[in-house]
Structure 1
Amino acid sequence: MRQVTTIGFDADDTLWHNEQFFRRTQERFAAMLAGQADEGVIAQGLLEAERRNLSAYGFGIKGFTLSMIETAIEVTKGQVSAATIAEILDAGRQMLSHPVEILPHVRETLESIAGAYRLVLITKGDLFDQERKLAQSGLADFFDAVEIVSDKHAETYARIFARHGDGPAKSMMVGNSLKSDVLPAIEAGGWGAHVPHTFTWALDHADAPADLPRFRQLADLGGLPAVLATLD
């Protein structure tokens, strides 16, 4: 009997690049306000606005754009120009239309395990943007189900893996975020495989577990089939 029959995959920075677009836009945003405040002050203000606004706006580009506008108002003490607000909105629109760039080893890994396991895409963020990226990626046909959720907790994974698989105990979640992909999936009773990305959002940082038997660390997604073979 296989120990794992269902595999969940995160999308952003696991299947395709994402955080790098936020970082480029944040640099552009800092340049817009360069005459108003130090870059570090702007970055810290934006991070605090994002943290404060998560419960209202959720994850994704639209919430990020609104947080930039809020930060611009705070940094300039209400004196931000309409032209700067328009530039912020334009930066957000550009992010929502950026081409999807698939990460290395993704397609061949999905091809090698599709059919042998139930594959479920589990991603958080804006519904329209995530659907757009999945459609443009050309990867949709590999997945037996797609779940776009507001956030990722142990309860989220327990519910999804019960719906689309044999329960969390026979499921593995694969992703770049220890905080939202790996640790809550293990807490739900499943397996977690961490595939690090060059960039990680500051609010998604977490320490790697030292002694969890259901935790696996991968150098890249290409190592997943070999890990799965050890669990057969």
Structure 2
Amino acid sequence: MSHLHLIAFDADDTLWHNERLYLTAQNRFKTLLARYHSSEWIAERLDQTEMRNLPHFGYGIKSFALSMIETAVELTEGRITGQEIQILIDAAKEMLTAEVQLVERVPETLARLAEKYALMVITKGDLRDQELKIERSGLAQFFSHVEIVSDKKRANYSRVLQQHNLAPEHFAMVGNSLRSDILPVLELGATAIYIPHELTWAHEHADAPTAAPNFYEVAKFDDLPVLFAQLEQK
């Protein structure tokens, strides 16, 4: 009998590509403000504003849009026009309605894993945005539960496990963020599987805990069935 009862997956840049939407919007933002400042300075100030606003607005596209507008007002010293602000709002709307582009071989891999394990999503961000992406992704059929949380810290994961009456040794988390998907889960004593993504947001970077006994890394999403089969032999 499997010692893992529940496998949870991050959503953005684990199940589907997401950071590329932000990079496209950032490039439009830098172009809009190019006559005021250098591209590097604009990017740095936007990042600072995003970090400062996280306690107020949380994660997600709407928070990002507000940070773009605030940064634009600051960097132009209030000279940005209503028409230019509308450009930023339109960019955010395009992000919210963009086609969900799945990471390669996600559906067939989830189908294989769902034959043996209960699967769930644990993702952070704007509730409505994440709900719509899960719906549009076509992946909802594979998950028995979806948890959309305000943040991914040890307390958030602990609360999810308590809600499902699950001990950490029976839980595994899969994701692309060392900071949010891996380190807090290892602190609980659960299993964490890291799948790097080439465009992971800098805020989510951390040193890989290579010495941790329950830490594993795979190169591709469809490497997961083999890894879980190996874990069952331990």
TM-score of the two chains, using structure 1 as the length reference? 0.97
Offset, 1:85: 0.7
Aligned AA (1:170): H
Question: What SS is found at the alignment partner of 1:230?
Answer: helix
Question: What SS is found at the alignment partner of 1:27?
Answer: helix
Aligned AA (1:156): N
Q: Provide the residue aligned with 1:15 in structure 2.
A: 15
Q: In the comparison of the two structures, how many residue pairs are matched?
A: 232
Q: CA RMSD in A?
A: 1.0
- Contiguous gaps of at least 5 residues in structure 2: none
Q: Provide the residue aligned with 1:128 in structure 2.
A: 128
Offset, 1:210: 2.4
Query: 1:150-165 maps to which residues of 2 (within 5 A)?
Result: 150-164=150-164
Query: 1:6-155 maps to which residues of 2 (within 5 A)?
Result: 6-155=6-155
Q: Provide the residue aligned with 2:5 in structure 1.
A: 5
* Distance change (3 Å), C-alpha of 1:164 and 1:115: farther
Offset, 1:108: 1.1
Q: Provide the residue aligned with 2:180 in structure 1.
A: 180
2-structure distance, mates of 1:72, 1:113 = 45
Give % identity.
Answer: 47
Q: Provide the residue aligned with 1:193 in structure 2.
A: 193
Offset, 1:81: 1.1
Offset, 1:165: 5.6
Contact 1:145 1:164 in 2 (8 A): no
2-structure distance, mates of 1:189, 1:97 = 38
Verify: 1:213 aligned to 2:218, yes or no: no
Offset, 1:2: 2.7
Contact 1:114 1:142 in 2 (8 A): yes
Contact 1:3 1:231 in 2 (8 A): no
2-structure distance, mates of 1:165, 1:102 = 31
Aligned AA (1:197): H
Question: What SS is found at the alignment partner of 2:3?
Answer: coil
Offset, 1:123: 0.3
Question: What SS is found at the alignment partner of 2:231?
Answer: coil
2-structure distance, mates of 1:112, 1:14 = 17
Question: What SS is found at the alignment partner of 2:121?
Answer: strand
- Contiguous gaps of at least 5 residues in structure 1: none
> In the TM superposition, what whole-angstrom CA distance separates every residue of 1:16-67 from its partner, at most 9, and x where no partner exists?
0100000000000000001010000100000000000001000000000000
> In the TM superposition, what whole-angstrom CA distance separates every residue of 1:127-148 from its partner, at most 9, and x where no partner exists?
1110110001110010010000
2-structure distance, mates of 1:221, 1:158 = 25
Q: Provide the residue aligned with 1:166 in structure 2.
A: 166
Question: What SS is found at the alignment partner of 1:78?
Answer: coil
Aligned AA (1:192): A
Name whichever of 77-86 and 160-169 sits farther off: 160-169
2-structure distance, mates of 1:220, 1:165 = 30
1-structure distance, mates of 2:122, 2:115 = 18
2-structure distance, mates of 1:61, 1:165 = 32
Q: Provide the residue aligned with 1:223 in structure 2.
A: 223
1-structure distance, mates of 2:180, 2:119 = 18
